[in-house]
Structure 1
Amino acid sequence: MPLQTIDLASKLSQFSGHFAPRTVALFNGHDVMVAKILGEFSWHSHADTDDFFLVLKGRLFLDLPDGVTLQLEPTGTPNSGDAATAAPRRVL
């Protein structure tokens, strides 16, 4: 299967809301998502996974507790760790 190039900046230009992630690709059963962030986002936890962040513009500061191992999230993992408070999964 040939590799597909995804223009992340173009995907980000398709929406304006903050903290509303959009899935742009799948990788080994994991969602690759883009999101716009502004200000603080409440700390949350995933029992078996965590988020991967690639900052295209600006700065991102993370306060992490000691001893955390970061992993990628399998498709369907709620972005806040809780399905009741998670943003809906939207694919671009």
Structure 2
Amino acid sequence: MEPVNIGQALASFDALWSPRILTTVNDYDVRVAKVRGEHLWHSHADTDEFFLVVDGELDIALRDRTVHLGQGDTFVVPRGVEHKPSSERGAHILMFEPSGTSTVGDHHEEVPDHVDATTGHALRRP
């Protein structure tokens, strides 16, 4: 039970689309990730997905529109809704998801090599 600095956590890894777990709140992971380029179309059947842009810009394509998020913006993708996050210039994001939620959802396209299909990685602490 020690404080976690988001900036230091983000500085501790370089991998894109490979979230680190900052902490757990009840049954939810608080994750941070560095992103650039495109993720993949996917959905989460049983959970909403919360995004907060810490730095940069993130687009979340939905089948009927694209939501653009800037630094400090939040957005919730409702459960079951197909979405595809992307960031042309790169972004640092924070997400809330139930522990054990896959980064590629329950239903998804083929996972490209640059996307880490994971339930989150432990944050390395000094």
Give the TM interval when normalised to the shorter protein.
0.7 to 0.9
CA distance in 2, matches of 1:76, 1:60: 23
Partner secondary structure for residue 81 of structure 1: coil
Q: CA RMSD in A?
A: 2.2
1:89 paired to 2:114? no
Q: 2:58 maps to what in 1?
A: 60
Q: What is the TM-score normalised by the length of structure 2?
A: 0.59
Q: Give CA-to-partner distance per residue, 1:4-53, whole Å, 9 cap, x none.
A: 64211110000001011110100121010000000111111110113211
Query: Which stretches in structure 2 are left out of the alignment for 5+ residues?
Result: 65-76, 80-95, 112-116
Partner secondary structure for residue 11 of structure 1: helix
Q: Give CA-to-partner distance per residue, 1:53-91, whole Å, 9 cap, x none.
A: 11111101111246x626x52101111114xx6225311
Q: Percent identity?
A: 43
Q: How many residues align?
A: 86
Q: 1:21 maps to what in 2?
A: 19
Please list, as runs of the form range in 1=range in 2, the aligned pairs for 1:73-84 lying within 5 A after superposition: 73-82=97-106
2:28 to 19, 30, 39: 30
1:49 to 47, 50, 54: 47
Q: 1:69 maps to what in 2?
A: 78
